[in-house]
Chain A
Amino acid sequence: STSSVLSAEKDKSTSSKGSTAEGASKRQEGTAETPKQKLLDIIGNMKVEVSYRKKLQELKASENKKQDTNRLEGPDSEGPQRPAEGIQRGKPLNPELVKAASAVASSLPLNKKQTESELLAQLRRHEETTDKQKKGETINIRNVISEMTVKKQSPAQRGVRISSRISLELDDDGQRIRPERFSSQAFNSKRYFFFFFICRSLKVGKRLNIFTKASTEPEHALKTVSSPTIWDLEFAKEIAVITAQPPRNGFEEMIQWTKEGILWEFPIDNEVGMDDGAEFHEHIFLDKHLEGFPKDGPIRHFMELVICGLSKNPYLSVKQKIEHIEWFEKYFEEKKELLQE
């Protein structure tokens, strides 16, 4: 049945090519009739045992041929059917193909509507891929491979690598087999050469378009769960426990302590927790905070003394000093009735 299919396709292609020689308006109907009829004949003659995949391949082949012929004809006749090549998704499929798909679906014993919709989806995808290939957007494996070069490993490197793999095994005593140390100089030079090659080959060459730029998706921000579930918390705890390995040596222990805040950072900075970025005039000239107090009287006298003391205090931040003054303000407000007498 495959040979018959192929021959039928060939006939179809020849017929379509023959039809291109005819007039423009008639071309459309001519190509529409014969391929569709041919396809329907094929489907009618074919047995049900033919696999789903083959059918799809036929459809794809027929659709490709159709595309070729249509392109040969020119965009004018295909105006209503293929309005713009730029439209990928919203492109309406060729109605003949749709009819063919429906015929195929009806001939198959399975769920008809489902198969029809799946076939149409497949057709759409094939169209997209063919468009992309025509535009040259898809990855060309040749371009990728052309940039790669096989690097020769020196036997020394290979030996070290193998031995480093083996070193994970244990002796009878329970001690690890140590990899033999090759001459470090020779090894290092070859390794640097290797890396140098790699670095060179990364920057050289045209863009391969393997990775597409991740489009900014603000929807993902909205998708975040409002409250983490218990399982999420447990998972996070597990990860924290696993990643927090005990320090292997004294240096790592000191690093950990520094991060926790147990150990100071060297060289020692005397103003670690104190520097709030305020200038000296904010510390000393605190008169502007005294606006809520009466101009005369013992209270003003008292507050001026307070401000004098605060301005000489190097251990408090500006915020703390303002908090002191505000507390006094509130206190005296509350005690106003008492003071009136």
Chain B
Amino acid sequence: MAAAALCWALRAARKVLPSPCPGQVRSYYVDWRMLRDVKRRRLAYEYADERLRINALRKNTILPKELQEVADKEIAALPRDSCPSRIHNRCVLTSRPRGVRRRWRLSRIVFRHFADHGQVSGVQRAMW
């Protein structure tokens, strides 16, 4: 677990693994905010099972309340970034926090740029 975390941290220090394909390769994340978001997503994935189970214990009417209080304390002790609600869907190319279309993961400006050049499949200028 520690070794995996170390490897990931070394690799992801503002860097994306370059793929061997030709074409434009971006070797860094766009900005630090995007990197923090990436870290949050990774932690949320790792702690997802634990959070689910502890929440199942908490949101309960059957188990005694002492148990639920203990579970409350446990979930608060988990790292803050493991919470999935801290993830924010930013634009994948520009890291813009607002105006992001979820289906394409792109901000409105980038989406418009690609759609006008015909590089988004099935998207056409509306005219009616």
Residues of A within 8 A of B (CB): 244, 246, 298-299, 301-302, 305-306, 323-324, 327-328, 331, 335, 338-339
Contact = CB atoms under 8 A, between A and B. Distances in A.
Given A244-B20, A246-B22, A302-B62, A338 B56 contact: no
Interface stretch (B2-10, B64-72, B80-88): B64-72
Contacts of A339: 64, 67
A113 to B, nearest CB: 61
A250 to B, nearest CB: 14
A306 B56 CA distance: 9
Contacts, number: 28
Given A244-B20, A246-B22, A335-B70, A324 B63 contact: no
A52 to B, nearest CB: 58
A298 B62 contact: yes
Contacts of B62: 298, 301-302, 305
Query: Most chain-A CB neighbours within 10 Å: which of B60, B67, B70?
Result: B67
Contact of B53 (A244, A301, A305, A328): A328
Interface residues of B, number: 14
Contacts of A244: 20
Contacts of B21: 246
Interface in B19-59: 20-22, 49, 53, 56-57
A305 B70 CA distance: 21
Contacts of A298: 62-64
Contacts of A301: 62
Nearest to A244: B20
26 contacts: A244-B20, A246-B21, A246-B22, A298-B62, A298-B63, A298-B64, A299-B63, A301-B62, A302-B60, A302-B62, A302-B63, A305-B62, A306-B56, A324-B49, A324-B53, A327-B49, A327-B53, A328-B53, A331-B53, A331-B57, A335-B67, A335-B70, A338-B66, A338-B67, A339-B64, A339-B67
A335 B63 CA distance: 12
Nearest to A320: B49
A299 B53 CA distance: 14
Contacts of A299: 63
A306 B62 CA distance: 12
Contacts of B67: 335, 338-339
Contacts of B20: 244
A176 to B, nearest CB: 23
Nearest to B52: A324
A306 B60 CA distance: 11
A246 B22 CA distance: 8
Contacts of A327: 49, 53
A67 to B, nearest CB: 65
A326 to B, nearest CB: 11
